[in-house]
């Protein structure tokens, strides 16, 4: 489907066709080749049997809404909600406890959960009984970011404990290990790169040694171009950025900065621009649809970060939109990338396994704007079928152009098929 590559032009702007074509023509071939070479490299570099995280992990994480207040009750409520509201059936499987579950170590060094989590094994059993999986959090440092007990010096023991509890996912957050790196690098954390890599690999080896398939999520905010070495230390996903916030400014800054990283993602190993904020209240519907659309175009992990037991219909409709999810979870596993950016308008595309393309028209500006797709610029015939994901509308195009009005901070997300 190489001839299915496309380019896009705004009717209102005079973007030179040649310039755009040059930039975008080889996109599909490039993505296909890099995807498969990345996939092969990941298999060769890790002893991990696939298909762990064959598609970007989906689920929920406690941090964005509950932060340090999260309890066993909240986690059970999240699991219950995921079953009751259809999220589990839409693909959200991981229920991830973030920082603040950690208690103290016993005389043998075995880490116990704190009072908020009286019985981690019972919690795992509960979550598993719902057809879901349980995730947990730690740090290669002595302390986590919220100053709880980290895994430094106890990696093998902690991995064993997680496996005994029935944990399925570990987020491993650099936090105070930064101090160790700073010392090693004489003030420069990035200079201590080999030690950092070693620390992440150490926990991976400990996880593998347990024999339990545990998805491994690296969190070190994208330092040292983690996407280049994440697979080599066993990462199934790696944070590419600092923390997200529930504001359009921060979400869009992080999300749109992912341009250029597509070649590093593929089945089993994903770029992670951080967890979702959809439904936490700091953005409007258009902005949350932009957030979700951008994340699915990026083949990003979809870890909801809101209170699932108190969710309005619009939030649920965004999180559960099957067409949006199918773009994220497409079996080809190709991350989308930016085709063009003109002023505040950006066009992103993502090739899909059935030969169709997902295309997102993003308006980062402060005024609603008409944007026009010219099918000839997409290397397509005049006649195509579009599906507008958020409007849930099929549109047949016969004359080679499609114009949509994109709201301020909003998006039009399309799936485009040849007739």
User: Which residues have a catalytic role annotated?
Assistant: 173, 243
Smallest distance, ligand GLA to C-beta of residue 247, A = 16
C-alpha distance from residue 317 to each of 78, 278, 303, 320 (Å): 17, 11, 15, 5
C-beta of 72 vs 98, nearer to ligand GLA = 98
Among 74, 149, 158, 173, which residue interacts with ligand GLA (rule: CB under 6 A)?
173
Pure H helices in 61-192 = 63-66, 72-84, 87-90, 120-129, 155-165, 177-184
C-beta of 151 vs 321, nearer to ligand GLA = 151
C-beta of 272 vs 328, nearer to ligand GLA = 272
183 vs 192: CA distance, rounded Å? 9
282 vs 245: CA distance, rounded Å? 9
373 vs 411: CA distance, rounded Å? 14
C-beta of 97 vs 378, nearer to ligand GLA = 97
248 vs 254: CA distance, rounded Å? 10
Smallest distance, ligand GLA to C-beta of residue 68, A = 8
Smallest distance, ligand GLA to C-beta of residue 58, A = 17
How many chain residues bind ligand GLA (CB under 6 A)?
9
φ, ψ of residue 72 to 5 degrees: the values are -55, -45
Note whether 272 binds ligand GLA by CB under 6 A. no
Task: Find the binding residues for ligand GLA in span 227-266 (CB under 6 A).
Answer: 243
Smallest distance, ligand GLA to C-beta of residue 144, A = 6
264 vs 210: CA distance, rounded Å? 28
Smallest distance, ligand GLA to C-beta of residue 98, A = 5
Among 219, 254, 278, 361, which residue interacts with ligand GLA (rule: CB under 6 A)?
219
Task: Find the binding residues for ligand GLA in span 142-161 (CB under 6 A).
Answer: 144-146
C-beta of 31 vs 145, nearer to ligand GLA = 145
Residue 333 near residue 323, CB atoms below 8 Å: no
The residue written with tokens 């393309």 in the block is 357
Smallest distance, ligand GLA to C-beta of residue 67, A = 7
Residue 76 near residue 117, CB atoms below 8 Å: no
Residue 203 near residue 155, CB atoms below 8 Å: yes
φ, ψ of residue 56 to 5 degrees: the values are -55, 130
CA dihedral 291, 297, 300, 302 (to 10 degrees): 50
Smallest distance, ligand GLA to C-beta of residue 146, A = 4
C-beta of 120 vs 208, nearer to ligand GLA = 120
Contacts with ligand GLA, 64-83, as mask; x by CB under 6 A: --------------------
385 vs 419: CA distance, rounded Å? 6
φ, ψ of residue 412 to 5 degrees: the values are -120, 120
C-beta of 94 vs 362, nearer to ligand GLA = 94
DSSP H or E stretch at residue 357: strand 357-363
Task: Find the binding residues for ligand GLA in span 82-141 (CB under 6 A).
Answer: 98-99
Note whether 276 binds ligand GLA by CB under 6 A. no
What residues make contact with ligand GLA under the rule CB under 6 A? Answer: 63, 98-99, 144-146, 173, 219, 243
């Amino acid at each position: 489907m190489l001839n299915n590559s496309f380019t896009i032009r705004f009717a209102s702007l005079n973007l030179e066709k040649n310039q755009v074509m040059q930039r975008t023509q080889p996109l599909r071939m490039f993505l296909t080749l890099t995807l498969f070479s990345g996939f092969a490299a990941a298999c060769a570099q890790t002893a991990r049997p696939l298909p762990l995280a064959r598609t970007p992990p989906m689920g929920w994480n406690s941090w964005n809404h509950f932060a340090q207040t999260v309890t066993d009750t909240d986690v059970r409520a999240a699991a219950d909600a995921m079953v009751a509201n259809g999220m589990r059936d839409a693909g959200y499987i991981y229920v991830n406890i973030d920082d603040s579950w950690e208690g103290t170590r016993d005389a043998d060094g075995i880490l116990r959960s704190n009072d908020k989590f009286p019985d981690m094994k019972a919690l795992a059993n509960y979550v598993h009984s719902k057809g879901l999986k349980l995730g947990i959090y730690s740090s290669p440092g002595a302390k986590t970011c919220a100053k709880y007990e980290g895994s430094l010096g106890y990696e093998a023991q902690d991995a064993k404990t997680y496996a005994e509890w029935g944990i399925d996912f570990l987020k491993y957050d650099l936090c105070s290990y930064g101090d160790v790196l700073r010392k090693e690098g004489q003030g420069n954390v990035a200079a201590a790169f080999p030690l950092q890599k070693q620390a992440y690999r150490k926990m991976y080896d400990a996880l593998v040694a347990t024999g339990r398939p545990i998805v491994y999520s690296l969190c070190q905010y994208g330092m040292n171009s983690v996407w280049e070495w994440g697979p080599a230390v066993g990462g199934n996903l790696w944070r590419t950025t600092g923390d997200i916030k529930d504001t359009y400014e921060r979400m869009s800054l992080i999300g749109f900065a992912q341009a250029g990283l597509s070649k590093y993602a593929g089945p089993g190993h994903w770029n992670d621009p951080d967890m979702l904020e959809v439904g936490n209240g700091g953005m409007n519907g258009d902005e949350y649809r932009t957030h979700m659309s951008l994340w699915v175009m990026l083949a990003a992990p979809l870890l909801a970060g809101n209170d699932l037991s108190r969710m309005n219909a619009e939030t649920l409709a965004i999180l559960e939109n099957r067409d949006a999810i199918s773009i994220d979870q497409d079996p080809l596993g190709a991350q989308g990338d930016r085709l063009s950016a003109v002023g505040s308008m950006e066009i992103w595309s993502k090739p899909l396994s059935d030969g169709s393309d997902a295309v997102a028209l993003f308006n980062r500006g402060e005024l609603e704007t008409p944007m026009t797709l010219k099918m000839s610029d997409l290397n397509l015939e005049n006649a195509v079928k579009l599906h507008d994901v958020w409007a849930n509308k099929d549109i047949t195009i016969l004359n080679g152009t499609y114009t949509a009005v994109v709201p301020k901070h909003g998006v039009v997300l399309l799936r485009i098929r040849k007739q």
